[in-house]
Structure 1
Amino acid sequence: MIRTVTDSVSKESAIDEVIATCNGDMRGAIKALLLVNEHLEAELQYYAHRSNLARRSNVA
C-alpha cells in the first residue's frame, strides 16, 4: 500500500505509528526510518538507471 503524508496531522499520526510499531523505542523508530529511506534511495537509483538504459537504447 502506498501512503503519502500531506498535512501536519497526518505526519504526526505517521510518526506516532512508527514509534508504536517500535514499542515506543525512539532510537528503534529512527533506525527503522533510516533503513526504509536507504531502501527507497536504492530503489530510486535502480529505476533511474533503468530509465537511462531505456533512453539510450531508444536513441540508437
Structure 2
Amino acid sequence: MNSGLHETAIDEIVARCNGDIRGALKALLLVNEQLEVELAQLQAAVAHGRLTGPRRSVLH
C-alpha cells in the first residue's frame, strides 16, 4: 500500500468513527487483535496437519 492509500484509509477509518481518533485507534486495535487470534488458529491448524493447500475463504 502506498502512502496516498494509507492516508485515504486513515481518513476513512477516522470518518467512520465520527472524527474520534481514539475511537478509530480502539477499533483498529480490536480488529488487529481478532486477526492475531485467527492467524494463531491457522498456524495451529497447519502445525497439526489440518490445513493443507489453498483455501477459498478469506480472513478479511
Q: TM-score, normalised by structure 2?
A: 0.81
Structure 1 unaligned blocks of 5 or more: 1-5, 56-60
Pairing of 1:10-29 with structure 2 (within 5 A): 10-29=5-24
Matched residue, 1:33? 28
Matched, 1:53 2:53: no
Letter in 1 for 2:13: V
Q: Which runs of 4+ in 1 moved over 2 A?
A: none
Q: Over aligned residues, Cα RMSD in angstroms?
A: 1.0
Q: TM-score, normalised by structure 1?
A: 0.81
Give the % identical residues. 54
Task: Please say which structure displays the higher CA radius of gyration.
Answer: 1
Q: Count residues in correspondence.
A: 50
Q: What is the alpha-carbon distance in structure 1 between the residues aligned to residue 48 and residue 34 of structure 2?
A: 21
Q: What is the alpha-carbon distance in structure 2 between the residues aligned to residue 14 and residue 43 of structure 1?
A: 22
Q: What is the alpha-carbon distance in structure 2 between the residues aligned to residue 39 and residue 17 of structure 1?
A: 20
Higher helix share: 1
Structure 2 unaligned blocks of 5 or more: 51-60
Query: Can you list the C-alpha shifts for 1:1-34, whole angstroms capped at 9, x where unaligned?
Result: xxxxx10000000000000000000000000000
